[in-house]
Amino acid sequence: MTAVETPLKLGAVVITMGTRPKELNALLDSVARQEGDPVQVVVVGNGAGLPDLPAGVRTVELPENLGIPGGRNVGIEAFGPGGGEVDVLLFLDDDGLLPDPGAAALIREAFAGDPELGIVSFRIADPDTGVTQRRHVPRLRAADPRRSSRVTTFLGGASAVRTKVFQQVGGLPDAFFYAHEETDLAWRALDAGWQIDYRADIVLHHPTTEPSRHAVYHRMVARNRVWLARRNLPLPLIPVYLLVWLLLTLLRRPPWPGLKAWFGGFAEGWRTPCGPRRPMRWRTVWRLTRLGRPPVI
């Protein structure tokens, strides 16, 4: 007789600044409608009070905004050290929504079927048009967002992470506050031997936005890009990676205020502490290259 396998326990972390109570409750309703065992949920008020939420939702209210990685790390620890009360944690933007009640089943199936799978990145689609923005496909060849594949990074607000990953390589980098924290975790996970999948069939509805709507976008993107390289890359690749991104930024011709903020952040990334340095192995560099995204772009 074959033993019946226990379904993987899923949890979900949602951080919010309290500005979208309607969207937050719609998201939580979509999580509650998932088929199979209930998904446990923690909502973190990131420097903000929380609105009335459905019964059974755990809540944490932080006195100050810790940023995206800091808030998510608090949510992880709400499930025990390294999120250990559950097997897999979903990270969902507070203005997102899971339209398919079978999404949790697909997530369980993906992780149960591949013990080396550490992270799954969902497809983000606009709820009105169904369009997936190119920047939401975590690979260089992004012309077909409906094609699933192995990838080298993931989308933080539309993802699922095996909690063993956090227990092995640590959480998200708190100091980043906003931008590139997912890639930092992804590189550490890949270096530890985990796999990352982009799953086009697991969809999060999210309205189309531009990241530059955030006032701090240009500065933090540049600062964190430098920190990312200093923390994770072998020394010979650091100048190559940063030079490539400098050239790409200039080619994209952001407005002068944005470019000025970018250069300010770039300088800040060099003069400020980046946290512990753990350069990836050269075989990980080769692995990233074989996956289509060498760590120079």
d(CA 18, CA 51): 7
How many angstroms separate the most distant Cα atoms in the chain?
A: 69
Beta bridge partners of 161: 89, 119
**278-288 pLDDT tens trace:** 999 999 999 99
What is the structure's pLDDT at 82?
A: 97
Contact predicate 260/217, CB 8 Å: no
pLDDT tens for residues 112-131? Answer: 999 999 999 999 999 999 99
Q: At a CB cut-off of 8 Å and minimum separation 6, what does 286 contact? A: none
Return the closest-CA partner of residue 120 out of 174, 169, 156, 80: 156
Nearest Cα neighbor of 127 from 29, 22, 208, 34 is 208
Return the sign of the alpha-carbon dihedral for residues 279, 259, 16, 152: negative
Mean pLDDT score across all residues of the chain = 95
Q: Which amino acid is at 284?
A: T
- 188: tokens are 């550490």
Q: Which residue has the tokens 């964190």?
A: 224
Give the amino acid at 173. Answer: P
Tokens encoding 93:
């933007």
Residues of the chain with CATH 3.90.550.10: 10-209
Q: In Å, how far are 43, 113, 205 from 158, measured between CA atoms?
A: 15, 20, 9
For residue 170, pLDDT over 50 is answered with yes
User: pLDDT per residue over 39-79, tens digit each?
Assistant: 999 999 999 999 999 999 999 999 999 999 999 999 999 99
* Digit-coded pLDDT (tens) for 186-238: 999 999 999 999 999 999 999 987 765 455 899 999 999 999 999 999 999 99
As beta bridge partners, residue 125 has 205
**Residues 164/202, Cβ–Cβ less than 8 Å:** no
Task: Return the pLDDT at 285.
Answer: 98
Q: Which CATH class is domain 10-209?
A: alpha beta
pLDDT band at 4; cut points 50, 70, 90: low
Q: How far is CA 129 from CA 56, 141, 252, in A?
A: 33, 22, 26
The whole-number pLDDT of residue 5 equals 75
